[in-house]
Amino acid sequence: MTTSTTSEPGAAGRPRADTAAVPAPTHLGGRIYWQGRDTWTVTKRNLRHFVRQPRLLVFSTIQPMMFVVLFSFVFGGIAQVALPEGVTYIDFLLPGLFVHSAAFRSTQTAVGLAEDLERGVVDRFRSLPMSRAAVLSGRTLADLVRSLAVVGLMIGVGYALGFRFTEGLLAAVGAVLVVSLFSFMMSWLFCTLALWVPGAEAAQTAGFVFIFPLVFGSSIFVPIETMPDWLALFAANSPLTHAADAARALSIGGEALRPVLLSVAWSVGVLAVIIPLAVRRYRRIV
Amino acid sequence: MSAVTVSQVRKRFGETEALAGVDLTVDEGEVVGLLGPNGAGKTTLVRVLATLLPPDAGQARIFGLNVVDDANAVRRSIGLTGQHAAVDELLTGRENLRMFGELFHLSGRRAGDRADELLDRFDLADAADRPARTYSGGMRRRLDLASSLLVRPRLLFLDEPTTGLDPRSRNAIWEVTRELVDDGTTLLLTTQYLEEADQLADRIAVIDHGDIIAEGTGDDLKDAIGGQVVDVVLLDPADRSRALEAVPAAEPLSDPRRFRVPVAEDSALGVLGTVADTLRRIGIEVHDLGLRRPTLDDVFLELTGDGPAGGAASDGQGGADTSSTTAGDGQGGAHASSTTAGDGQGGADGSNSTDDGAPSADAAEAGGSARGDDDDDQEAVA
Residue A5 — φ and ψ, nearest 5°?
Answer: -130, 145
Q: Are strands B78-81 and B2-13 parallel, antiparallel or unpaired?
A: unpaired
**Is 0.90 exceeded by the ipTM?**
no
Please give the helix or strand (H or E) that residue A47 lies within, else none.
helix A28-52
Exposed/middle/buried for residue A29 (C-beta within 10 Å: 0-12, 13-18, 19+): exposed
- pTM (two decimals): 0.73
Q: How far is B268 from chain A (nearest CA, A)?
A: 24
CATH 3.40.50.1820 applies to domain B2-221+311-365: no
pLDDT score recorded for residue A141? 96
Q: Look at chain A and count its residues.
A: 286
- The residue range of the domain holding A237 is 28-285
The answer to whether residues B151 and A20 touch, using CB atoms and an 8 Å cutoff, is: yes
Tell me if residue B259 falls in helix, strand or coil: strand
- Whether the per-residue pLDDT at A4 is higher than 90: the answer is no
Q: How many CB atoms lie within 10 A of CB B251?
A: 13
CB contact under 8 A, B154 and A15: yes
Better pLDDT: A125 or A173: A173
Structural domains in chain A (count) = 1
Span of A225-229, B185-189, B279-283, B360-364 with lowest mean pLDDT: B360-364
> In this complex, how many residue pairs, one in chain A and one in chain B, have their CB atoms less than 8 Å apart?
146
How confident is the model over B183-229, as pLDDT tens digits?
A: 889 999 998 887 788 888 999 999 988 899 888 887 787 777 667 78
User: Among A2, A5, A42, whose Cβ lies nearest the Cβ of B214?
Assistant: A2
Query: Which residues are paired to B169 by β-bridges?
Result: none
Q: DSSP per residue over A85-145, as a string?
A: TT--HHHHHHHHHHHHHHHHHHHHHHHHHHHHHHSTHHHHHHHSSS-TTHHHHHHHHHHHH
Q: How far is B88 from chain A (nearest CA, A)?
A: 6
> What is the edge-to-edge ordering of all strands in the sheet holding B258-262?
B251-252, B258-262, B229-234, B286-292, B339-340
Span of A7-11, B219-223, B278-282, B315-319 with lowest mean pLDDT: B315-319
Is A8 among the domain residues? no
- Whether the per-residue pLDDT at B22 is higher than 50: the answer is yes
pLDDT score recorded for residue B173? 86
Between positions 125 and 184 of B, the ones with CB within 8 A of A are 131, 147, 149, 151-154, 181-184
User: Among B103, B183, B217, whose Cβ lies nearest the Cβ of A128?
Assistant: B103
How confident is the model over B365-381, as pLDDT tens digits?
A: 333 333 333 333 333 33
User: Among A37, A127, A130, whose Cβ lies nearest the Cβ of B80?
Assistant: A127
CB contact under 8 A, A48 and B215: no
Is A22 among the domain residues? no
> Which amino acid type is present at position B11?
K
DSSP state of B293: P
The answer to whether residues B25 and B2 touch, using CB atoms and an 8 Å cutoff, is: yes
Residues 6 or more apart whose Cβ sits within 8 Å of residue B156: B78, B79, B80, B81, B148, B149, B180, B185, B186, B187, B188
How confident is the model over A45-84, as pLDDT tens digits?
A: 999 998 898 888 888 889 899 999 999 999 888 888 888 8
How confident is the model over A125-156, as pLDDT tens digits?
A: 888 888 888 999 999 999 999 999 999 999 99
Closest CA to B108 of B120, B97, B92: B97
The answer to whether residues A90 and A72 touch, using CB atoms and an 8 Å cutoff, is: yes
Is A233 among the domain residues? yes
- Whether the per-residue pLDDT at A10 is higher than 50: the answer is no
Mean pLDDT over each residue of chain A, to the nearest integer: 87
The answer to whether residues B240 and B234 touch, using CB atoms and an 8 Å cutoff, is: yes
Q: How far is B275 from chain A (nearest CA, A)?
A: 29
Q: How far is B104 from chain A (nearest CA, A)?
A: 6
Q: Structural domain boundaries of chain B?
A: 2-221+311-365, 228-292
Q: Quick check: B80 contacting A, CB < 8 Å?
A: yes
Tell me if residue B51 falls in helix, strand or coil: coil
How confident is the model over B83-114, as pLDDT tens digits?
A: 776 889 999 999 999 999 999 999 999 999 99
How confident is the model over B266-293, as pLDDT tens digits?
A: 788 888 889 999 999 999 999 999 888 7
Is A21 among the domain residues? no
pLDDT score recorded for residue B295? 67
pLDDT score recorded for residue B305? 63
Can you name the CATH fold of B228-292?
Answer: Alpha-Beta Plaits (3.30.70)
- Whether the per-residue pLDDT at B337 is higher than 90: the answer is no
pLDDT score recorded for residue A283? 83
Closest CA to B365 of B329, B303, B315: B315
Read off the pLDDT band of B315 (50, 70, 90): very low
CA pair distance A4, B253, nearest whole angstrom = 28
> Which of A4, A124, A139 has the most B C-beta neighbours within 10 Å, making it the best mutation to test the interface with B?
A124
> Which amino acid type is present at position A137?
S
Between positions 93 and 122 of B, the ones with CB within 8 A of A are 95, 99-100, 102-106, 114
Between positions 297 and 326 of B, the ones with CB within 8 A of A are 303
Better pLDDT: B121 or B303: B121
Residue B339 — φ and ψ, nearest 5°?
Answer: -130, 160
CB contact under 8 A, A126 and B87: no
Please give the helix or strand (H or E) that residue B262 lies within, else none.
strand B258-262
Tell me if residue B229 falls in helix, strand or coil: strand
CB contact under 8 A, B75 and A129: yes
- Whether the per-residue pLDDT at B6 is higher than 90: the answer is yes
Residues of B in contact with A120 (CB under 8 A): 82, 84-87
Cα angle: B170, vertex B174, B177; to 5 degrees: 140
How confident is the model over A174-218, as pLDDT tens digits?
A: 999 999 999 999 999 999 988 888 777 887 787 788 889 999 999
